[in-house]
Amino acid sequence: MTRAASTVQLWVIAVRSFYEWADAHELLETDLIARMTQLKYFPPGTRAGGEFGVTRRVLVDSLRSVTETEATPRWIADADARTALTHLELGTRDRFLVDLLSTTGIRVGEALSLFVADLHFGGGSRQLGCHHVDPHFHVRVGNSVENRARAKGRPRTLFVHRDVVEAYIDYALERREILSAASVRDSSPHVFVNVRSEPRWLGRAMSYQSVKRLMDRCSRAIGHDLSGPHMLRHTFATRLLRGIDCDPVPIDVVQSLLGHASITSTRIYTHDVETAMKAATSALAPRPTPPMTASR
C-alpha cells in the first residue's frame, strides 16, 4: 500500500530520533547517523534561516520527502507596492532607514550596527585611510554596539545615491533638534537612535523590535505584507539580478553587495528565473512534434 509523502516523512522523523538516541548512548556500532544526515546552510530570510541564516544538520536528500521544497525569499514583486513604499510619508529617521535598506541591500543587523563614523557621505579622507570620493559607508563587523545588533557577513564598502544622503541630512538635523529640546545628550555612536519615545529612551540605539514595528506600520499603510525588514534586502537583490527597473547586474557583483561569503547564498534569488528559463527552452523544441491526427 502506498503511503502519502507526509506520512512517510513522519515515520522517518521517528526513526531518526530513535537512532539519534541510540547513538547518543553509544549503542550503535556503525556510522548510520552520519550517513542519514548532512550539514545544510539556510540563508537569511527563509523560514528555516531566520534573520541571520543558520547551518544545521538535516536528512540526506534520499530520505527527504519528494514534495519538500526549499522556500525562496519573499520580495516585493508588486511594482505599485514598491512605489507606494518609496513615497510613503515617514519620520526622517524611518525614511532614511527604509531608503538605506531598499537601495543598498544591507541586513537590518548591519544597519543597526552602523556608527556615525562609518558614514562617509561627503567622501572619504586619505588621512583616515579612505580613498573613496563618492558618498559611501563602511559595513563593519566589530563595532561595539549598544543594542545587541549583529552585523553578520563580510565587511564592505557600499555607495549611496544622493537622495539617501539628503534623507540622512534631514534625519541628522531632526535628531539634533529633538534631543536638544529634550535636554538629552547626543552621545550614542549609533546612526539609528530613538527619537520618538519616552525621555529615558531618547537617544539610545534603535532596536530590531522597533524596526519590525516600523515594517508593520509600512505594511498597513501600503496594503502589502512586508513580513519583515529583510524583505527589502530580498527585493534589492531580486531586482538587480532580474533587471527590474535597471540593467541586470552580474551575480558576482550582487554577491559582493550583499556581503555573501559564498555565491551559493546569492543563487537563491535566481531560482524562479532558472525555472522560467528551463520552461522557455523546453517550449522551443528544435523539432516540434506534429499534432496527432485521428486515424481513419
Domains, the chain: 5-63 (no CATH), 79-270 (1.10.443.10)
Comparison of pLDDT for 22 and 46, the residue scoring more: 22
Distance between CA 264 and CA 286 in Å, rounded?
Answer: 32
CB 254 within 8 A of CB 241: yes
In sequence order, the 6+-apart residues with CB closer than 8 A to the CB of 168 are 96, 119, 121
Q: How many CB atoms lie within 10 A of CB 48?
A: 14
Q: What percent of the chain has pLDDT over 90?
A: 56
Mean pLDDT, rounded, of the chain? 86
Q: Is the pLDDT of residue 6 over 60?
A: yes
Structure confidence at residue 66 (pLDDT): 44
Residue 227 has which C-alpha cell? 513580513
Average pLDDT for 197-219: 95
pTM of the model: 0.73
Structure confidence at residue 274 (pLDDT): 63
Q: Is the pLDDT of residue 120 over 50?
A: yes
Most confidently modeled range among 55-64, 96-105, 141-150: 96-105
Structure confidence at residue 62 (pLDDT): 72
Structure confidence at residue 280 (pLDDT): 64
